[in-house]
Amino acid sequence: MSLIFRFLIFFVCLLSCTTKKQSNFQVGLFEGLDLNGKVIKFAEIKDANRIALNVYSPSCTPCVEEIPALNYINKLIQTEKLGKLYMVVDPYSIVDEDKNLPFHDAYSLARKTMEEEVSKHNILLDVIIMKKPFKILPQKGLITGTPETLLLKTDPLVLYYNFIGPISSGKEEGKLQNDPKVLFFKRMMGGI
């Protein structure tokens, strides 16, 4: 065999052995329903390079305090086309019901609660009520509590950063523009 032919075979084998990019931490399976009942599969979102999922609970005071900053950040990343920001909830952490409640029933109860939250707190983000395997598992899982914000790259959907705690509890847009945590979040979403 000639040296060129051997090199060609080696090169073809090398290409066929490369690892395929794949999701991590089961984030590729993340999906839920918005408040209108539309199914949102995050792995199928193609019009954004990055997605942020802010984990919310109505019983979480820092979550509520963070809403003005989230509304500001949502406007900012839409204006600068940095990606998409969603507010996501685990329906089983919102409704005080049996954890074995069928998703449809848990969704209905959580939807009612979240519609009230959206109205009461002027939430401007799309709210998604998540299906399993998404769940809040203190000290045991990917999402350990609220508030928490997962940053994901798309194609394939991969977790690349996890903010624990509120991004900011600032309320005034002028102060949020220079808030170090907001600026860091923007940078992590791909902005400068």
| Site of tokens 């990019």 | 21
Query: Domains (ranges, CATH) in the chain?
Result: 47-188 (3.40.30.10)
Q: Model confidence over 2-22: pLDDT tens digits? A: 666 555 555 555 455 555 567
Q: Model confidence over 50-66: pLDDT tens digits? A: 999 999 999 999 999 99
Q: Which two tokens stand for residue 23?
A: 């999701």
What does the CA dihedral 122, 78, 163, 25 come to, rounded to 10 degrees? Answer: 110
**Could you tell me the mean pLDDT of each successive run of 10 residues in the chain, 192 residues long?**
56 52 86 98 94 96 97 95 96 81 94 98 98 88 92 94 94 95 94 72
Q: Does an H or E element contain 51, and which?
A: strand 50-55
Q: Are 52 and 85 in contact (CB under 8 A)?
A: yes
